[in-house]
Amino acid sequence: MLPANSNPPVKVLTDYLWFNTRRRRELINITEMVSELVERSGIQEGFVLVSAMHITAGVYINDHEPGLWEDIEEWLEKLAPSGIAYKHHQTGEDNGDAHLKNLLIGHEVTVPITKGVLDLGPWQQIFYAEFDGCRKKRVIIKAMGI
Amino acid sequence: MLPANSNPPVKVLTDYLWFNTRRRRELINITEMVSELVERSGIQEGFVLVSAMHITAGVYINDHEPGLWEDIEEWLEKLAPSGIAYKHHQTGEDNGDAHLKNLLIGHEVTVPITKGVLDLGPWQQIFYAEFDGCRKKRVIIKAMGI
Amino acid sequence: MLPANSNPPVKVLTDYLWFNTRRRRELINITEMVSELVERSGIQEGFVLVSAMHITAGVYINDHEPGLWEDIEEWLEKLAPSGIAYKHHQTGEDNGDAHLKNLLIGHEVTVPITKGVLDLGPWQQIFYAEFDGCRKKRVIIKAMGI
């Protein structure tokens, strides 16, 4: 006999990672933190959203290779340079470039969860990219699935 | 005694926002519209996808600050310029730059829903960015959760 | 009388598309493949994530127009050029530009499923963009909904 309810219940996990970097720009590999939260959620099949809650920081997936990190930083600085008289600076801010870097690299990734773990490719790692740090900032981790 | 089904049912809301801008390029803050739809859905925990259904418009999250909007527009024009003899224009179109701006800034965001509301950071606002307007275009709002 | 469980069960489909392109850079329209998997899943309302599992390939949505494909390729090469002495190349790799192209165009899209089909706009097509091919690479297709 089937139980009264044979459907697996939908599970949701919500958590927040806090960062307060010492340098203005910093790159942090958060794959392990996300992975642990997914394991704790008990979700076997679903999605996890990893999303910066600030508009001057990014979240992206790429390689864990220090040379490439420098390439990415130089590239971001070339395409979204600091030291420019952005109109945004007339408000007293000085982080116009950080907003553009956020838009260029993106602030969120959605990672599939399969058989209870992050279903990432062999080289895929999740990074938090701080572009205007030295203050408390958050990333939301929200997983949903069965 | 437990009810026959103690799992909360999955709720889905689908709606479409229509835009017909007067200018070719325009920026519209749609946070409130998305927020109202999420409230109407009754979803307490889940995700809402906000996605342009056209390939010459973007959806992104950033700051509600007019100076920054100008910075973003100038930046998009610099990296994905108009006035270039794109091969796409051999079809009779003249909006090659709008396609590239769409790819640069992205056409979709996924926003977490927590305790019945959009779980956005303090400065995060959702924008529809029109790059080839003066005609009817749509954004899909699709929310799913419990 | 209602059945013991009147909530529709959550369905999940996970599949992987394999590519092994003959040329280093290649563009493949995968809309039909994704569409068939969504149909097979039986999901009526939900989301499908289409995500490259490699850090030197992209997934994006844009127009099925060969002239535009050339424009996009030239644009990617302009903003994330090959033939540069990237620091990443000190590891023996020669694909630094492919990493940057991946970051520029993005590696994932989330497509809404409505009434059992991909809810795309009239011109929206899903593409796999290979930036460092001639070897086996994967895209995950993960759909969830009711």
Token pair listed for B69: 């909007």
Q: How far is CA C56 from the centre of its chain?
A: 12
pLDDT at A146: 97
A vs C: CB pairs below 8 A? 96
pLDDT: is A26 or A5 the higher one? A26
Report pLDDT digits (tens) over A20-79. Answer: 999 999 999 999 999 999 999 999 999 999 999 999 999 999 999 999 999 999 999 999
Contact C60, C111 (CB under 8 A): no
Q: Is the pLDDT of residue A94 over 90?
A: yes
Closest-CA distance of chain A to residue C65, Å: 25
Contacts C106 to A, Cβ<8 Å: 106
Sheet strand arrangement including B125-130 = B26-29, B125-130, B57-62
Please tell me the number of Cα atoms within 13 Å of A76 on its side-chain side: 29
- Per the CB < 8 A criterion, the answer to whether A127 and A25 are in contact is no
> Is there a contact between B61 and A107 (Cβ–Cβ < 8 Å)?
yes
The helix/strand/coil state of A125 is: strand
Can you give the pLDDT at residue A5?
54
Q: How far is CA A26 from CA A19, A30, A126, B71, B137, in A?
A: 10, 12, 14, 24, 39
Whether the CB of C1 is below 8 Å from some CB of chain B: the reply is no
CA atoms within 13 Å, Cβ hemisphere of A122: 4
Q: What residues of chain C lie within 8 A of the CB of B76, using their CB?
A: none
Which H or E run includes A104?
helix A96-105
Residues of A in contact with B75 (CB under 8 A): 80, 100, 103
Query: What is the SS3 assignment for A28?
Result: strand
Whether chain C has a CB inside 8 Å of the CB on B7: the answer is: yes
pLDDT tens, N- to C-terminus, chain B (146 residues): 445 556 789 999 999 999 999 999 999 999 999 999 999 999 999 999 999 999 999 999 999 999 999 999 999 999 999 999 999 999 999 999 999 999 999 999 999 999 999 999 999 999 999 999 999 999 999 999 99
What tokens appear for C48 in the block? 């499908």
Flag whether residue C55 sits within 8 Å of chain A, measured between CB atoms: yes
Q: Are the Cβ atoms of C124 and B55 closer than 8 angstroms?
A: yes
* Lookup: tokens for B47: 């995700």
CA pair distance B24, C97, nearest whole angstrom: 33
Chain C contact probe: residue of A2, A6, A119 with most C CBs at under 10 A:
A119
pLDDT on residue B7: 79
Q: Which among C5, C71, C122 has the least Cβ separation from residue B5?
A: C5
Q: Which chain C residue is nearest to residue A61, measuring alpha carbons?
A: C55
Residue in C with minimal Cα distance to B95: C68
pLDDT number for residue B8: 87
∠B39-B43-B48 over CA atoms, to 5°? 80
Place of tokens 């938090």: A128
Tell me: the pLDDT tens digits for A104-121? 999 999 999 999 999 999
Closest CA to B140 of B59, B23, B40, B28: B59
Strands B11-19 and B57-62 come out as unpaired
Buried b / exposed e along B89-99 (16+ C-beta atoms within 10 A): eeeebebbbbb
- Interface check for C12 against chain A (CB to CB < 8 A): the answer is yes
Q: Shortest CB distance from A79 goes to which of C9, C54, C79?
A: C79
Instruction: Please state the ipTM of this predicted complex.
Output: 0.95
The three-point CA angle A135-C103-C133 to 5° equals: 150
What is the domain partition of chain B in residue ranges?
11-145
Fold of the CATH domain C11-145: Jelly Rolls (2.60.120)
Rounded-to-integer distance, Cα C100 and Cα C102, Å:
5
Helix (H) or strand (E) holding C134, with range, is none
Q: How far apart are CA A81 and CA C134, in angstroms?
A: 35
Residue A130 pairs in a beta bridge with A26, A57
In this prediction, residue A2 carries a pLDDT of: 47
The CA distance from C116 to the nearest CA of chain B, in Å, is 13
CA dist list (Å): A28 to A69, A82, C108: 10, 21, 21
pTM of the model: 0.96
Instruction: Write out chain B residues lying below 8 Å of A112, CB-based.
Output: none
Of B4, B45, B121, which is closest to A54 when you measure between CB atoms? B121
Closest Cβ opposite residue A67 in set C12, C49, C88: C88
Instruction: Name residues of chain C where pLDDT drops below 50.
Output: 1-2
Partners of A48 in the β-ladder: A111, A143
Nearest to B49 among C67, C105, C112 (CB): C112
- Residue B104 to residue A106: CA distance in whole angstroms: 10
